[in-house]
Structure 1
Amino acid sequence: MPAIQSLTLTCDALNENETFSEGDLLTGKVTLALLKETPVESLTVKAKGDADVRWTRKSGDRTHTYSAHKRYFKLKQFLIPEDSKETVVPKGIHVYKFSLQIPPGSMPSSFKGIHGKIVYNLEVKLSRSWRMDRKVEKDISFVSKSYPNLHSLMSRQVGSTKKEMGLFSKGHVHMDVTVDKSAYAPGETLVIIAKINNSSSSEMIPKFSVTQNVVYRANSSTRHESHVIHKVVDKGIKSQTQKTVRCAIQIPRVQMPTIHNCDIISVEYQLKVYLDISFAFDPKITFPVVIIPPDLAPGRQPGGAEGPYPAGAAGGPSNSDFPPHAVSIDPYPVSPHSGSSRYPGAQRYSAPSPVYQDNSLAYAGPPGVYSAQPAHVNGGYNSPVPQLPSPYGYPFSPSSTSSVLHPPPTAPTFPPPPSAPSTSPPPFTLSPTAPPYNELSFAPMANTDFLGQSDEAPPEYSLLFPSAATDKSVAK
């Protein structure tokens, strides 16, 4: 008969979207159900963040493989300490609580593409002698809050272009375009105003498109992907006519944010405004678009209206040459991320011990409350753990199966209660406390004035996001 009935992992959510960011605390519980008394070498929970890219390219009869790896952090906590002797765990349901703090610093958001991915996950591993390890994994949604020059991205963008017509037409065309800003949260609307002076003999059609560009990098080589998120076609402008065209394009609520802080994967967005002219090169103006997390958008209210336009819609009548998209209503409005939390210190409770049915091994302390410090954290950025208001439930009824709650053991400076059983976990050494997490600080604004009317092209991504020095990858 197998000894392990089940091994499950749950993680506490910090917000409605169940996302995490730099400096946040990962807390949760591991539930181990045993059908009989079982010797265990160790029980660990691990959190890590990794980026990987891989693709192949054929050249004649040869196939070249390009791959790269980047590790951002790896944290490990022992729930059952690893010792020279095995720990005998009795039959029943055992609940172990954990807490791991994501390090501060700039790390990219979660991403999954055709040739690469950025994944953050939790892993629980149960090790027994002469047995295969039992593992449970759970991905977590990570949203970066590292966006330098955010203040400057809230300023409007201005671009201008002029084209002399060629062989099949006479005259010239001039276009001035203004975009309200550069940074948008999912659900926000781009407001575009284009002033067009068609002093030529040809008719032209204004078009607007937002494109996502993904770049994978490995072994000094790159692989590109491009996807059109939305495209709008306006009515034609006849010869010798001036017209002001207004367009509104809403960023889809599910659109992933810009990734600019990863060495091997980048995700960028671009707005292109151009005039479609038959038998001529189309004059165009491109603007960088930065998609940021909802709670970084200024003036964003939790559960507030996203604008008068449904997802994927454009203002005014649209003659799009793309097939229409089905409009779906999101029943869960976007709410701001709770952000990283800072706690002034651990608290101790003097509440009476709860009564557990058929459970003589229960530790003192109210259920669902974390101890002052996590147990046996190895390499980990420790910090005091928040006190959760609601207790953890049990997957099995206490009347049918015994249940044991295993909070992390207390620090050696606090003697265990006299009633504690001899099977209590051994004392441990606290790891040094992590430095306090500072709120996101942004780089100063660039000196270049992007707001003045000029014939120069709008700023490139290299100006908005200066390339950082490539960090050495850490082996997996």
Structure 2
Amino acid sequence: MFQQTIKNFTINFNNLSERKTVSSGDLITGHISFDVTKEIKINSITMRLKGAADVHWSSGGGGGRKRRRQRKVYSAKVDFFDLKSVLVQQEGAVGGTTKLQPGTHVYPISCLLPQGDFPSTFHGVHGKVLYTLTVGINRPWHMAKDFVTELNFANRFNTNQPELRAPLSGSNNMTLCCLWCASGPITVTASAEKKAFIPGETVKIICEFSNASSRTATPKVSLQQKQVYYDRSKVARRRILKNLASVTGQPVSAHTTDVRTEIMLTIPSSAYLTISNCSMLDVDYLIEVKLSIRAAPDLTVLIPIIMCDTPVNSAPPPYM
């Protein structure tokens, strides 16, 4: 069998970034290796570099034949690039073959990612952005065997923009009513030291609370990921909100003012990068600072942030 003749296929890359990502315009180099258990003939070894995105979801339907007929399906797909090359091919006449002897075979690879504003790799509930490198071993009278490796592609936008380094803040307030009585004001002010972060980084959220009510309030900080999918017409859309991480702070006692605290929230290292340059999906992030009070609506402050591949230093404090 073909699977038993060629074993232990691996692709090894050179000079990847610290986060093992590639980006537009990068030269990918390395080598492939595989073991051959007996002498075989091959026509060629080919390489294919592809980037594409697709989304798919449905609405309506459910149990029963009539409901299934009422189900609507939405989808969209786009190819960013599809590049093909030959690593090994018999010289001379088309259709010639090369003999591979038993043992380990190693071949260098080199390919250039095209220039372009392509979205970062993403796997979501209703769609994905996928970049792959496929090596195909083609043998006479055999079906071609493809070995597919997914590339972690990062859209490296300009992180020197001042707005990415500047602090962000927001505030909100409310009063509680019980019959004819109204509580004193409850206020939340929250700030982050900058707007852009990388996966795995810890965010310091500075919170200021005032609780003039008669009830204890509990603060909670969460990282929310918002996924929005669009069909071909961009008329239909599907929105998904995911909570990626959360931290609960110390309760704020009743009738207290000017409570200041710092809450540290670590972004999961598996978080995907922000996507705003794809026609069929968006991926955004929000830090939600919430003050929960029993038998009352939550008091919430939302801080939008950007997830990028390159570390961004916060702006230095203004000169005093």
Q: Same fold (TM over 0.5)?
A: yes
SS in structure 2 of the partner of residue 269 of structure 1: strand
| 1:180–1:148 CA distance, 2 compared to 1 (3 A) | closer
**Cα separation, 2, equivalents of 1:268 and 1:57:** 23
Q: State the match for 1:142 in structure 2.
A: 153
The code of the aligned residue for 1:284 comes to T
The alignment's TM-score, normalised by the length of structure 1, stands at: 0.56
Quick check: 156-165 or 93-102, which moved more?
Answer: 93-102
After superposition, residues 19-418 of structure 1 pair within 5 angstroms as: 19-31=21-33, 33=36, 35-36=38-39, 38=41, 40=43, 42-59=44-61, 60-62=67-69, 63-79=71-87, 80=89, 85-92=94-101, 95-128=106-139, 130-146=141-157, 150-167=161-178, 169-219=182-232, 220-242=235-257, 243-293=259-309, 295-298=310-313
The structural deviation recorded for 1:234 is: 2.6
**Cα separation, 1, equivalents of 2:228 and 2:302:** 18
The structural deviation recorded for 1:190 is: 1.6
**Cα separation, 2, equivalents of 1:12 and 1:151:** 34
| Identical aligned residues as a percent | 29
| 1:82–1:112 CA distance, 2 compared to 1 (3 A) | farther
Instruction: Indicate if the aligned counterparts of 2:90 and 2:97 stay in contact, CA closer than 8 A.
Output: no
**Cα separation, 2, equivalents of 1:160 and 1:146:** 30
The structural deviation recorded for 1:102 is: 0.6
The structural deviation recorded for 1:101 is: 0.4
The code of the aligned residue for 2:68 comes to D
**Cα separation, 2, equivalents of 1:90 and 1:260:** 49
> Hey, which of these two has a bigger chunk of strand by percent?
2
The structural deviation recorded for 1:160 is: 2.0
The alignment's TM-score, normalised by the length of structure 2, stands at: 0.80
| 1:162–1:53 CA distance, 2 compared to 1 (3 A) | same
The code of the aligned residue for 2:81 comes to F
SS in structure 1 of the partner of residue 133 of structure 2: strand
The structural deviation recorded for 1:17 is: 4.1
SS in structure 1 of the partner of residue 297 of structure 2: coil
**Cα separation, 2, equivalents of 1:142 and 1:6:** 29
User: Gapped runs of 5+ residues in structure 2?
Assistant: 62-66
Larger Rg: 1
1:45-78 CA distance string (max 9 Å, x none): 1111111222232333323222211212221112
Q: CA RMSD in A?
A: 3.0
Instruction: Indicate if the aligned counterparts of 2:159 and 2:312 stay in contact, CA closer than 8 A.
Output: no
The code of the aligned residue for 1:38 comes to K
Instruction: Indicate if the aligned counterparts of 1:34 and 1:91 stay in contact, CA closer than 8 A.
Output: no
Instruction: Indicate if the aligned counterparts of 1:166 and 1:280 stay in contact, CA closer than 8 A.
Output: no
The structural deviation recorded for 1:27 is: 2.0
User: Gapped runs of 5+ residues in structure 1?
Assistant: 300-450, 452-476
**Cα separation, 2, equivalents of 1:286 and 1:296:** 22
**How many corresponding residue pairs?**
298
| 1:22–1:72 CA distance, 2 compared to 1 (3 A) | same
Instruction: Indicate if the aligned counterparts of 1:110 and 1:119 stay in contact, CA closer than 8 A.
Output: yes
